[in-house]
Amino acid sequence: MKKLTFISWNVNGIRAVAKKEALKWIDETEVDFLGLQEIKAEADQIPETIFDRQFKFQSINASSKKGQSGVALFTDIKGEAYACDHVDILDEGRINEYHFGNIAFFNVYFPNGQSSEERLAYKLSFYERFLEHINTLRDEGKSIIVCGDVNTAHKPIDLARPKANEGTSGFLPIERAWMDKLIANGYVDTFRHLHGDIPDRYSWWSYRAGARGRNVGWRIDYFFVSEDLKERIVEAEILDDIMGSDHCPVKLVLEI
């Protein structure tokens, strides 16, 4: 077996991050898969200078809505990229699906439900379509790895002010219930698996009122793996010292 390192980061605009040179740390980092969310760019708009390292393979899924959403995957491991249009039915550039060996890897920017009741309904339907899809692949014999911005904090421990946000999309009972369902279906929250109920560990902070400096945040960026990979989890970390976005990266190391 060898160790594979996966990094996931909602960059909130890859061109803005490039201007800050906030992805240059990748050049000094062991990483086999880099999944970026909310790139807000077409493939030809991604600056070549985001990092110096040249990955052999990349998969860019831009949104049909210019300047919104979008995901990008970079790796040196040969595999096959798949469209996931039956989940991302509005063509918002939300999923990279990449199969290598016996593994189906997903880099996902799940919808935000805060803008309207309609968007909340779409977020919940997206959740259900996605779970059905990964369950189908798992039933076909694939191991599953999912990373990305889930846009929901699972438990009260996963945000600084749970009481104040009980009525806010991102911490609604119906959204959290889907995360319960995901885990009940045999998927493992890798960070909690290794670290238990360690408090005050977040991956997103509002730009308002100095929230990051005061660590008033939410843990909404995750790595999940199917149960068969649970014993192969080596590391699962939140890289909250990395700046450049309102999110920080999260990391997973697996023995494969």
Residues taking part in catalysis: 109, 149, 247
- Known binding residue 38? Answer is yes
Lay out the sheet containing 57-61: strands in order across.
57-61, 71-75, 33-37, 3-10, 250-255, 233-238
Q: Is residue 34 within 8 Å of 75, Cβ to Cβ?
A: yes
- 48 marked as part of a ligand binding site: no
Residue 247 among known ligand-binding residues: yes
Residue 107 annotated as binding?
Answer: no
Three-state DSSP at 148 gives strand
Q: Assess contact for 93 and 70: CB atoms under 8 A.
A: yes
> Considering only CA atoms, which of 233, 248, 254 is closest in space to residue 25?
248
Q: Is 151 annotated as a binding residue?
A: yes
Query: Nearest Cα to 155, choosing from 214, 233, 218?
Result: 218
Contact call for residues 95 and 107 (beta carbons, < 8 A): yes
Helix, strand or coil for residue 164?
A: helix
Instruction: Output the known binding site.
Output: 10, 38, 149, 151, 246-247
Binding site members for Mg(2+): 10, 38, 149, 151, 246-247
